[in-house]
Structure 1
Amino acid sequence: MTVRTRLRLSSSDAAVLAEAGALLGSLASRDLSVRCRQGPGSDAADWAARKRDLSGVSSARWAGSITKATNDQWALARRAQAAELTWLRGEITRIEARLARPVGAKADRRHGAVRGCATRSEWHAKARRLHALRARLAALEGDWSEGRVHVVRGGKRLARRRHHLGEAAAGRKAWTERWQAARMFLSADGETGKRYGNETIRVSDTGQLSLRLPAALAHLSNAPHGRYVLDATVAFAHRHTEWRDRIAADRAVAYRIHFDPRRGRWYLTASWHRPAVPALPLPAATARGVVAVDMNDDHLAAWRLDPHGNPVGEPQRFSYDLSGSVRHRDAQIRHALTRLLHHARRTGVCAVAIEDLDFTDSRTRERFGRNTSLRRIVSRFPTARLRARLVSMAAEQGVTVVAVDPAYTSRWGAQHWQRPLATPTRTTTRHDAAAVAIGRRALGYPIRRRTAPPPHDRRDRAGHRTVQAGPEAREREGPRPRSSGPRTRSVSPDRGAKAGDQRAQHHSGHAAEQASWWQDALPLSPQEYG
């Protein structure tokens, strides 16, 4: 959980924070350099030695925060290297398979053959790309084996911009301010049992902010024990009650102070871990039905389903716009999910069903070829962020999230539910039908829809029923009871491939195997009695 507020500082307070952040940032840069030279063989003894070296000029708590942040940054760089290794090897494999096929060859799914390059010029471009990827892979494998990581405090993108100041709108002075602000370090981990949950950066229940200055800046302190009390008062507008409960119980709260040079403002960020929400059993979560959601590039298509898998009410659509900056996209997603959860609470359900989508492997250019529009849509579709946002926001509302297999939900939903759900006053889209398919799969029902009920005189030969009944309901669709007497067919009705399972398959086109027809034995003639 993270909340942020603005700090309205005086010029003297801002100068003290800037000096402390620059000093601690230089110590963090030095510690990161030492950690990168140690490589993967670093252990707890090396960590303790680095912490002792930093404690002399700062403090034990500042040194602990710096070394922990350094270890996290190094581990993140190693995970990024591993992910890039996997991606490069996959790209090389795909390009080699395409280059091995003749020019203009089409894909053959039956034999697992990929499509070839469309033209000879495309084949030549793919061959050049293959050589470039192999060179990148060789260099990365060398870094991985030797334990080298390439990390820049402040960000590589901002560091590269230093060489292109003439092309940017901002000049050298603006870049220097951003660079110094990005390399400052004013972060302190929380400590349970300490006063107000943090001994280094402390915020009292009255909003008073103070921090423990490093040993080299102890002469700037204005409070006992080397502390500096700021004139600004802290007030969190979001989750203020939860934050006050934590500091009143002296539970750990981590703080981070940072400066935004573009706006010229200082900010304080508070974060803490919340207890894990217990997982609700699936039958209890879906006892009142679900709100099924089909995720799309520009909207969420939702439809409520009752516990028996029947659509109830009208379909809902929650639109969002994924163009623009990252903050704009994130705000759009949060707004759409908020409206979705409010709709789920109004309908009285306790679960939201979504597809377990992952487009990580589909964002490569070898996946869709020249279809740049589809690649652009897939690349900007935030499946992972949307899932993470939905899970965290649903936990706050007491709503359970049910993830289902996304295979063929759009195709089979349109096949079985799009036309039956359309009315003269309502146009059912393909996305609405997909939401119904997702909800039925979350409830454990097959996607396919049963036809209309048969007439009274043709019950045995008119088709399936529409009622979605449980196993205990009478006259539900199921296997016929076995009767005594000889059979007229050679195969017994209870020995078929799918006998006794009239809805075994959850996919389209499944024809449930019917029991074999039989006729009771005819009465014996008078001659046969003799």
Structure 2
Amino acid sequence: MGGLRELAAPFVAPGPSGVAVRDRLKHLTDEDEKVLRLVGGHLGALASRDLKARCTAGLEHDTEQWAERKRALTEESSSRWAGSITKATHDQWALARRGQLAHIQSLEAGVNAITHRLSLPVGEKGSKKAPGGYRTRQEWHAKSRRLHLLADRLDATRADREAGVVHVVRGGKHLLNNRHNLQAAQLTEAEWRQRWQAERRFLQADGESGKRFGNETIRVTPDGEVSLKLPAPFMHLANAPHGRYVLAARVVFAHRGEQWRDRVTTNRAVAYRIHEDVLRERWYLTASWTIPPVQTVPLAAASAGGLVGVDTNADHLAAWRLDTHGNPVGKPLRFGYDLSGTSSHRDAQVRHALIRLLHWAKRHHLTIAIEDLDFQAEKTREKHGRRKGFRKLISGMPVSRLRARLVSMAAELGIAIVAVDPAYTSRWGAQHWQKPLTSKKRTTTRHDAAAVAIGRRALGYPVWRRTAPPPAHRSDEQGHRAVQAAPGTLGREGSRPRIPGPRTRSMRAGRGANAGDQDAQHRSGRAAEHEFWQQDSLPLSL
């Protein structure tokens, strides 16, 4: 097994660090929507200008420049609006830097893959660990040109990162590109403009503990009244004292409503964001706050009552319950979902599948073991080449979203999540568990066997099944044991270790010959022991 990579130890996944709830702003008047669009557009313009200033500063930015930017924004809004804008700007710049680093790593992987394949003869077959050469001379020539293209992109991106240059679009790059091809996006110019303006508005404010209801900029009272502090140029639109505008809508958070109400009643910080859904023609209010980190239970305590191993696939979750000894219990389970259609439909499908899984685990008081998957390095076309179907398959699996949702939803139900290394679970599960768990009344799939392998790894057991007991005699008619040593394993041909006690029922302790002596083996033409021995005519059991 020298060619296998080292496996990471399983661990209990930490819980979420924050929560967010959303409710619709119903019954808004035309005046309310007008004020929201005016204020959001004005603050969005300030946010765009501040983002430009931050990107221009690059790596030379310091606290003095931050303070200067905030003072400039305060003159046209307020100190709290300016603080929210500068914080959002820094978060967006940091996100762009992380995305830039991920892009560099992707380009490096593509350059290395093409370089390796170009160095091989045309038509040479690859292995499971490394791809082979390109199939034809035409493909080799096309990839050699692509190598220069990726190398140029890599050099330019590295230069940008060293200089602190990032490329950010407020409103989204995808929506920006739709403007150049409205027919393909099935949009008119007016519809695109409406979406663009909605995405670039800024109506979000960070919370402040100790202030009234946890937020002075966007305030929501315990009975659901929503008001916001107007920027300086729009003070004449105020309909409440102290330059505030009160919306006609009332919010009621159905999910986590009691937690939110407890926070605002005690004046603890709650952040709010108001945004418009242009397609639905609706306005929403999102409330978010941080929570103390949940103390994770030790791995031994989490798996003390058994667990359920879960294998993530493109269209379903395969699950199988295991006892504390790593043995499959009951029947395999399947929680399906459909990842076709819109993003909201896919998200709902994943959420419903996780709800069914979590409720089943809650009823049986079980911990959930799942693979710690990450397909970021597996999606490049340079690695898989013509295997477009496989690339599409792994790209469509909602690994990150499923993992985040599972941890968050499990924390609410008090269910621990154990993350395990995904290496070889499908291969070894099919090799050691698929056939033994298949019967006339039950067909075990490769995914079901992988779920067993995942559960055993989370419990600390090897994926391989237990070695079968030795046969009744040493002839070869009964075949080999279930698990054999690999041909290259050192010591596989050596002597068996000396075990104290009688080797047969006819010998007393300490009287048997050494196991390494050929005279001690049951072979034709050689004595079984040094002393003369003859089989008794009566059975030994009497």
TM-score tier by shorter-chain length is: 0.7 to 0.9
Whether contact under 8 Å (2:110, 2:383) holds in the other structure is no
Change (3 A) 1:125 1:464: closer
- Residue 306 of structure 1 and its aligned partner are, at CA, apart by 0.8
**Residue 15 of structure 2: aligned partner:** none
Whether contact under 8 Å (2:131, 2:383) holds in the other structure is no
| 2:431 partner letter | Q
Match of residue 349, structure 2, among 329, 332, 336: 332
Q: Which moved more, 1:385-394 or 1:281-290?
A: 385-394
TM-score normalised according to structure 1 size: 0.85
Match of residue 110, structure 2, among 83, 91, 111: 91
Whether contact under 8 Å (1:300, 1:317) holds in the other structure is yes
The answer to whether residue 437 in structure 2 is matched with residue 421 in structure 1 is: yes
Whether contact under 8 Å (1:450, 1:464) holds in the other structure is no
Q: Which moved more, 1:29-38 or 1:425-434?
A: 425-434
Whether contact under 8 Å (1:485, 1:521) holds in the other structure is no
- Residue 290 of structure 1 and its aligned partner are, at CA, apart by 0.5
- Residue 55 of structure 1 and its aligned partner are, at CA, apart by 0.8
Match of residue 220, structure 1, among 223, 227, 237: 237
Change (3 A) 1:199 1:479: farther
Deviations 1:391-419 (A, max 9, x none): 11111111111112222222222222222
1:285-364 alignment, distance < 5 Å: 285-349=302-366, 351-364=367-380
**Residue 394 of structure 1: aligned partner:** 410
Match of residue 3, structure 1, among 10, 18, 21: 21
Whether contact under 8 Å (1:485, 1:520) holds in the other structure is no
**Higher RCO (C-alpha 8 Å, min separation 6):** 2
- Residue 381 of structure 1 and its aligned partner are, at CA, apart by 1.3
**Residue 381 of structure 1: aligned partner:** 397
Change (3 A) 1:441 1:81: same
Whether contact under 8 Å (1:218, 1:226) holds in the other structure is yes
Q: Partners of 1:425 and 1:286 in 2: how far apart?
A: 30
Query: For this pair of structures, how many residues does the alignment match?
Result: 482
Change (3 A) 1:486 1:156: same
Match of residue 36, structure 1, among 30, 33, 55: 55
Q: Partners of 2:131 and 2:335 in 1: how far apart?
A: 38
Q: Which moved more, 1:56-65 or 1:379-388?
A: 379-388
The answer to whether residue 78 in structure 2 is matched with residue 59 in structure 1 is: yes
**Residue 81 of structure 1: aligned partner:** 100
Whether contact under 8 Å (2:498, 2:515) holds in the other structure is no
Whether contact under 8 Å (1:352, 1:401) holds in the other structure is yes
SS class of match (1:413): helix
Deviations 1:226-276 (A, max 9, x none): 111111111112221111111112111110011122222111111111221
| 1:152 partner letter | V
Q: Which runs of 5+ in 2 are unaligned?
A: 1-18, 483-495, 502-508, 518-526, 533-542
The answer to whether residue 59 in structure 2 is matched with residue 48 in structure 1 is: no
- Residue 81 of structure 1 and its aligned partner are, at CA, apart by 1.3
| 2:391 partner letter | R
**Residue 165 of structure 1: aligned partner:** 182
Whether contact under 8 Å (1:290, 1:306) holds in the other structure is yes
- Residue 375 of structure 1 and its aligned partner are, at CA, apart by 1.1
- Residue 389 of structure 1 and its aligned partner are, at CA, apart by 1.5
| 1:382 partner letter | P
SS class of match (2:247): strand
Whether contact under 8 Å (2:316, 2:334) holds in the other structure is yes
- Residue 146 of structure 1 and its aligned partner are, at CA, apart by 2.2
Change (3 A) 1:367 1:259: same
SS class of match (1:394): helix
The answer to whether residue 208 in structure 2 is matched with residue 194 in structure 1 is: no
SS class of match (1:74): helix
Change (3 A) 1:162 1:108: closer
| 2:122 partner letter | V
Q: Partners of 2:434 and 2:339 in 1: how far apart?
A: 27
Match of residue 366, structure 1, among 382, 385, 392: 382
The answer to whether residue 141 in structure 2 is matched with residue 124 in structure 1 is: yes
- Residue 431 of structure 1 and its aligned partner are, at CA, apart by 1.3
- Residue 166 of structure 1 and its aligned partner are, at CA, apart by 4.3
SS class of match (1:276): coil
Deviations 1:188-223 (A, max 9, x none): 001111111111100001111111111111111111
- Residue 522 of structure 1 and its aligned partner are, at CA, apart by 6.0
Q: Partners of 2:176 and 2:112 in 1: how far apart?
A: 33
TM-score normalised according to structure 2 size: 0.83
Q: Partners of 1:205 and 1:458 in 2: how far apart?
A: 80
The answer to whether residue 212 in structure 2 is matched with residue 185 in structure 1 is: no
Deviations 1:108-138 (A, max 9, x none): 57xx864111011111211121121122122
Deviations 1:159-208 (A, max 9, x none): 22222234443211111111111111000001111111111100001111
Whether contact under 8 Å (2:498, 2:514) holds in the other structure is no
Q: Which moved more, 1:191-200 or 1:143-152?
A: 143-152
Change (3 A) 1:451 1:32: closer
Q: Partners of 1:75 and 1:59 in 2: how far apart?
A: 24
Whether contact under 8 Å (1:22, 1:180) holds in the other structure is yes
Change (3 A) 1:45 1:487: farther
SS class of match (2:368): strand
Q: Partners of 1:113 and 1:242 in 2: how far apart?
A: 52
SS class of match (2:443): coil
Q: Which runs of 5+ in 1 are unaligned?
A: 466-477, 493-517, 524-530
1:198-213 alignment, distance < 5 Å: 198-213=215-230
